[in-house]
Amino acid sequence: MFGPKIINCVYNPLKVTKESLIEFKYGKYKDDGMFKFLKMIEVRMSDYYFTKYLVRNHVNPNLEIVIEVFQKETDLEIVLYDLYDTIPYDEDFLENAGGQIFTTEDEGIFTDYFRCVDPKNENRIDGTNVSIRVYDVQTNIIERIGMMDFWEYENETEKLNIEMLKSNGMFRIFKGIVINLNVDCQLYKIGE
């Protein structure tokens, strides 16, 4: 086999290589062409893993999106996330992040998201504590190992994910939609 090999030092459910590309056939990124894989963030909760892939557009280097992939029964569930906001550590925001409903506001339009409840801890307000390993696809280096809390919300059309990095307390809020890998995008596994 010649060329780049499948990356296997972090959980890689899409089996991408350093040269892999992804293109979106539908939705708001359908006219943006190819995206290159920059980072893979392996997220571990006890014995359960999932991965967030950070991809950047070839034409517009300021256009970055996150593709979250996890095993759901026998299939992969894939969520395409945009960064919605970042917030420095704030006690009041931390309390809101643990509520049953999280509301966003865009130009006077309010949208409610409902907490995805952990069946074992239905009333839990703290985030799910996970460990992360951040792998740089282009340099082939694990650049960071750390801890993070996260909260998941959803409504009829979107998912909302709030992360708090333990290292600096920074909150990152992502909004996203579930996509079908075989319908909504084309993954090019170059060098496989």
Q: Can you say whether the dihedral through the CA atoms of 129, 49, 86, 78 is positive or negative?
A: negative
Mean of all residue pLDDT scores within the chain: 89
pLDDT at residue 119, as a whole number: 47
What's the rounded mean pLDDT across residues 73-81? 89
Q: What is the pLDDT of residues 119-170, one digit of tens each?
A: 455 555 567 889 999 999 999 999 999 999 989 999 999 999 999 999 999 9
Task: Please report, as a single letter, which amino acid is at residue 90.
Answer: D
- Residue 144 to residue 42: CA distance in whole angstroms: 11
CA atoms within 13 A on the CB side of 149: 15
- Residue 67 to residue 56: CA distance in whole angstroms: 11
Asked if 17 and 5 touch (Cβ cutoff 8 Å), the reply is yes
- Residue 11 to residue 70: CA distance in whole angstroms: 10
- Residue 163 to residue 17: CA distance in whole angstroms: 27
Q: Which of 48-52, 98-102, 117-121 has the lowest mean pLDDT?
A: 117-121
Query: 111-136: buried (b, 16+ CB within 10 Å) or exposed (e) per residue?
Result: eebebeeeeeeeeeeebeebebbbbe
pLDDT at residue 116, as a whole number: 84
Q: What is the pLDDT of residues 10-45, one digit of tens each?
A: 999 999 999 999 999 988 899 999 999 999 999 998
pLDDT at residue 174, as a whole number: 96
- Residue 176 to residue 81: CA distance in whole angstroms: 4
Asked if 188 and 15 touch (Cβ cutoff 8 Å), the reply is no
pLDDT at residue 1, as a whole number: 47
pLDDT at residue 98, as a whole number: 79
Q: Which of 170, 54, 177, 162 is nearest to 104 (CA)?
A: 162
Portion of the chain with pLDDT greater than 90, in percent: 65
Q: Which of 57, 60, 62 is nearest to 22 (CA)?
A: 57
pLDDT at residue 123, as a whole number: 53
- Residue 189 to residue 139: CA distance in whole angstroms: 18
